[in-house]
Every structure is written in structure tokens, then in C-alpha cells.
Amino acid sequence: MLEDGGRYRWEGLRDRLITRITLAANLPETTETSVYYEPGLAALERLVIETGCLNTKELDRRTAEYATGQRTDAEE
């Protein structure tokens, strides 16, 4: 959706993912979650903010809504 809308190029997210995963993999006491999923989520969150899709406050609000079950994947 973001790429189709012209807000970013896939390569931008891919490069962020590679960087964050590489950094995480070199940290002591890593797990699959800390090496892959957490850096991936952080890269996506950063991209959403940097492209202006959401600001930090809106991202935090939506994250809290998902965490509490007030928001589901079916909602926009």
C-alpha cells in the first residue's frame, strides 16, 4: 500500500531492515524475536513516521489500540 501510493520505495525499507537486523544479530543474548521481528518492526515504524503516514503520537495511539484489542486488522 505505501509503495503503491508512491510514499516510499521497497528498497528503502529493505535497506532499513538489513541494517537493523545486522545490528541486532551482533548483540549479545539475541533471540529470533530480537534479531528479526523487533528490528523489522522498528524499521517499519521509522519508515511510517519519516514518510509522514503517521506521526509518533498517532503511531503510539494505534499501537495501544491494537495491544488492548480496541483495534483489529480489519480497521483502517
- pLDDT tens digits, one per residue of 5-35: 666 677 777 888 888 778 777 777 767 666 6
Write down the domain spans for the chain: 10-68
In the DSSP assignment, the letter for residue 8 is -
Is residue 8 classed exposed, middle or buried when 0-12, 13-18 and 19+ CB atoms within 10 A define those classes?
A: middle
Q: What is the pTM of this model?
A: 0.62
Q: Alpha carbon of 69 to those of 4, 36, 59, 72: distances in Å?
A: 28, 24, 15, 7
Query: What does the pLDDT look like over 38-69, one tens digit per residue?
Result: 777 888 888 889 888 899 999 999 999 989 98
Other beta carbons within 10 Å of 26? 9
- ∠ CA(8), CA(6), CA(14), 5° rounding? 25
